Structure formats: structure tokens, C-alpha cells
Amino acid sequence: NAKESGRNAYRFVTREMGTKSRDRMDLEGSLRHAIAENELFLVYQPQVDTVTGEIVGMEALVRWRHPQEGLILPSRFLPVAEESGLIGPMGDWVLAEACAQIRRWKDRFGLRIPVAVNVSGAQFRDGLLPDKIFRLLDAHGLAGPELEIEVTEGTLIENIEGATVILNALKRRGVLIALDDFGTGYSSLSYLHRLPIDKLKIDRSFIHDLSLGVSDASVPRAIVGLGRSLGLSVIAEGVETEDQLRLLRDLTCESYQGFLFSRPVPVDQLEPLLHTLANLPKTVFTPHPPAD
Ligand code: C2E
Ligand code: MG
Ligand code: MG
Ligand code: MG
């Protein structure tokens, strides 16, 4: 009954909050050392053409190997990083590591697909971000379009003028720009038109809904149509089933990312796959066991 579940809900919330604040203090202390101690690493998730099955890109995602707690996912430590200001050095590390990895892959496999890096609102408030990125591209001899930056609508809306300056600077150098978790924020069609955006990433909640039997495809269909009329490419996140993939193909959504093809995996597990990219004809990729 309502009264009982209400009381349980209350108890649940207070216990959660107590755990969280202690958790945050502990994590903040150890997060401070995580970069210097080499505890952060990147995993990569392929992005795949819905029709040909070819890998057309990759997204880098940060992980933290905590000495006592084991693997910690970004949903737990990014809020701590953002609140403590540690997101600055952490974000710098992610960008530097991703660029170094693109260079290594180019040298070993002749990689010719872009690698996407997530950039949070806090990083995006730093006007020096484009210069940092350009220095990394120069240091590793990379062209702008070999790197893609993923931002959410929320990040853009927070500071639309600053964001416009940053995106235009990145675009002058050819860096690709993707709008992450698209459809969940406050989209304004006018800024979509004005900003130099290359790609819309349909949020995985809409893809999840596709598999509920109701198969309400109206939002993904609308986003694909929007992308087409604005000349943007469209990718679906969180594709887990063949049914979802089939629907996306029917909607003419050009690419997807999700557990169906591969989980995000560490570099060593990706390399067999990159071999097949370099040495045509391609062989079928067998997904590796979960990395997280
Ligand atoms: P995101 O950028 O939207 O990344 C996609 C998330 O969906 C990843 O979670 C990925 O592991 C997960 N995912 C991929 N395919 C599937 C699927 O088929 N099903 C399901 N259920 N999930 C799938 P992850 O790696 O835990 O990252 C969560 C969020 O943390 C990211 O969402 C991004 O906003 C943020 N993040 C991750 N790495 C970084 C980073 O290096 N820097 C910054 N600033 N943020 C990051
Ligand atoms: Mg992303
Ligand atoms: Mg996303
Ligand atoms: Mg997300």
C-alpha cells in the first residue's frame, strides 16, 4: 500500500544520500591521484554502418581502475570530478590519451576513421579548449577530422555564446562535432542550424523504446529526418538487438553503436578488429566478452 511504500522510499533515499556523500569524499581524495598513478584508461566502442556493417568510427570512454574498489564507471566518478574541479585535468588526460592512441593506430593499422571524445560542460567553459586540442593534433601530426568532439545539448545551452566561439574554432581546423544524447535536452532548431555540427547521436532511451513491442519509432524517425534536412549524419546509441538494428535500417539511420556489435573494449581487444579494417577483404568481427 501507498503508506508503506512511501515510508520505504523515504528510508531508501536517506540511506542513499548518506552513502553518496561519504562515497564522494572518499572518491575525491583518490581521484586526485588517479591520473598520476595511471589508474585511468580508455575503452573504445566501434560505430558501425547500419547497411554495410563496416566500422565507421569509434568513441573513447574513460574508465578508472581503483586500487581497492576495482573498475569504476564514469556515472560514479564524473559527478565527483565535475564538482571538485578535477574534470579539468581528467578531461585533458582523456584528450591527450585519445590523440596519442589515434597516432599509434595510424602507424600500426593505417586507421582512417575518426575517434570521438566526450567533453563535459565544465571542460567546455574553458576558452582554451580549442588551443589545447590544436596543440595535441600538432604534437601527434593529426588532421582535424581524425578527432570528433561529443557535447550534449545541455552543454551548448548553458553558455551558447561561449560554445559557439569554441565550436567555430574547432570547425575551422576541421575537428568533427557530434551532439550526444540527442533528443533529451532542450533542442532549439535555430542553434542546430547556426552551429557547425556534423552529427546527431540519437539518445539510447529512444532506441530502448523501439524494442518494447510498441515499437514507437516516431522520435528516431524525426531525428533522422532532421539530420537529412540539415545535412547532418545520424547515429543511434545503445543498439542491443537485431530488431532495433532492422528498424534503424528501415528508418535510413546510417550508423549505430551498441552492445549488439561490441561493448566498449580496451585497446588490446580492439586491435584484431582494426587489423581487419586495414587488411581488406574484411573478416567478420566476433565480439569480445564484456570489458565492464
Ligand atoms: P555517452 O557519451 O552517451 O556514452 C555512451 C554510454 O552508453 C557509455 O557508457 C557506453 O558504455 C554505454 N553503451 C554503449 N552501448 C550500449 C548499449 O548497447 N546498451 C547500453 N545500455 N549502454 C550502452 P559509459 O562508458 O558508462 O559512459 C557514460 C557517460 O559518461 C557517457 O555517455 C559520457 O557522457 C560520460 N563519459 C564517458 N567517458 C567520458 C570522458 O572521457 N569524458 C567525459 N567528459 N565524459 C565521459
Ligand atoms: Mg558520448
Ligand atoms: Mg550518448
Ligand atoms: Mg549518455
Query: Nearest C-alpha to atom 20 of ligand 1 is from which residue?
Result: 238
> Which of the residue ranges 29-38, 69-78, 141-150 would you say has the lowest mean pLDDT?
29-38
Whether the CB of 118 sits within 6 Å of ligand 1: yes
Query: What confidence tier does 181 reach under pLDDT thresholds 50, 70, 90?
Result: very high
CA of 2 to the centre of ligand 1 (A): 35
**What global pTM score does this model have?**
0.89
CA of 200 to the centre of ligand 3 (A): 10
Q: For ligand 1, pick from 58, 61, 123 the residue to mutate: most ligand atoms within 8 Å of CB.
A: 61
Per-residue pLDDT tens for 80-113?
999 999 999 999 999 999 999 999 999 998 899 9
The ligand that comes nearest to the alpha carbon of residue 257 is 1
CA of 83 to the centre of ligand 1 (A): 19
Query: Nearest C-alpha to atom 7 of ligand 1 is from which residue?
Result: 238
The ligand that comes nearest to the alpha carbon of residue 94 is 1
Whether the CB of 181 sits within 6 Å of ligand 1: yes
Nearest to 199 by CA among 122, 84, 278, 114: 114
CA of 181 to the centre of ligand 4 (A): 5
Cβ atoms of 244 and 211 within 8 Å: the answer is yes
Query: What confidence tier does 286 reach under pLDDT thresholds 50, 70, 90?
Result: very low
Q: ipTM for the complex? A: 0.98
Whether the CB of 244 sits within 6 Å of ligand 1: no
